Amino acid sequence: MLLSSLFIIFIVAVSTRAIFICPRPNGFFSDASSSKKFYHCFNSISYHKSCPSGLSWSQTQQRCVFISSPIEPVKPVEEILNGCSKGNPCENGGSCEPSGNDDLFCLCTENYYGSRCEHVGEGADLSVLESIISGNNNNYEHVVENVLSRNNWTDILAVVDVTGSMQPCAAAVYKWMKLSQDKTKNIRYYVFFNDGDDKLNSAKKIGSTGGIYSMAANNLNKVLATMQSAMKNGNGGDIPENDIEAILHGIEMCPTCTDIIHIADNKATPRDLNLLNRVTKPIKVLTCQVDVAGVNPQLLNVADKTNGSLHTLDEDVFNLSAIPVGEKITIGRRTYRRTSSGFVVV
């Protein structure tokens, strides 16, 4: 009798958990019915948990916290995180894809492009991307393949600049992932950013520039479609880009990703470096398009200030934080000196 009762309790517990549908495969999410409970999603399976006595769940801080006065239950996480829950705003047969924080983007059907698939045509020319992915063009910079092959990283969040001339590096990311499908613990989540979907430069605000497209890595066809949409809908406009905004978005969408790689345009300095103090995980910066001028020192600073690392075609640079102020480091043919505010070219 006791065994039967326990079995029934187990079945009820499992059924209760199954009601909650994880908005992302992994992460922690609030319970709309109680401020003291939350859901832990792991591999798309939800586990219903309670905070210790006296604590309440904070979706912002992603943990149980002490709150001096009672708080109202938060909105259902599906409403907060799934921007497509209120309907499909995509035009001309486009499909709506949720992108966190009540945001979304559209995957357009053939011959349409734009943030809502509102434009007729092909958008930006993707012939370089397509020639590399198809294998017809091998004459490009192999930074991505070289770095990923040299380092045994797993559970990767890949944040990829897809503006303008970054097509070869973006294509290399996709090719490497496709060749490594059997290595299931490699890239888990992608973020592609284009610095604002062709916004006017004057409309680009730090922290909310936009043009960010993200997708779990479990469907490569969808990943490629997402990358292509990001490329078609914007080429960056001015030179500075919203790198840090995209990194923060990626960390929010995949909080359990352990290795965060930022595939960066060496010729562009992030416009939002003042957001860098919000980045709480080490960033591995892969520099594309490094020329005779050497590595962009601001990208070196992104790696340094997040306790991360910097990676070029031929080198992996670790332990940047161990270099004292006034000391120098040589990367490629260029030498850099640490100052009190960061690295500069000597």
> pTM for this one?
0.74
Q: Which residue has the tokens 């091998």?
A: 138
Q: What is the DSSP string of 117-172?
A: S-EES--S--HHHHHHHHTS---S--HHHHHHHHS---SEEEEEE-SGGGHHHHHH
Question: Where in the chain are all domains bearing CATH 2.170.140?
Answer: 14-81
Residue 238 three-state SS:
coil
CATH 1.25.40 fits 14-81, yes or no: no
**Residues 6+ away with beta carbon under 8 Å from 345:** 294, 297, 334, 335, 336
pLDDT level of residue 101 (50, 70, 90 thresholds): low
CB 318 within 8 Å of CB 308: no
Residues of each domain in the chain carrying CATH 3.40.50: 124-316
CATH topology for 124-316 is: Rossmann fold (3.40.50)
Cα–Cα distance, 74 to 96 (Å, whole number): 25
**Rounded-to-integer distance, Cα 38 and Cα 58, Å:** 9
183-193 pLDDT per residue, tens: 545 888 999 99
Which pLDDT score is estimated for 61? 63
**What pLDDT score does 86 carry?**
82
Summary mean pLDDT of the chain: 82
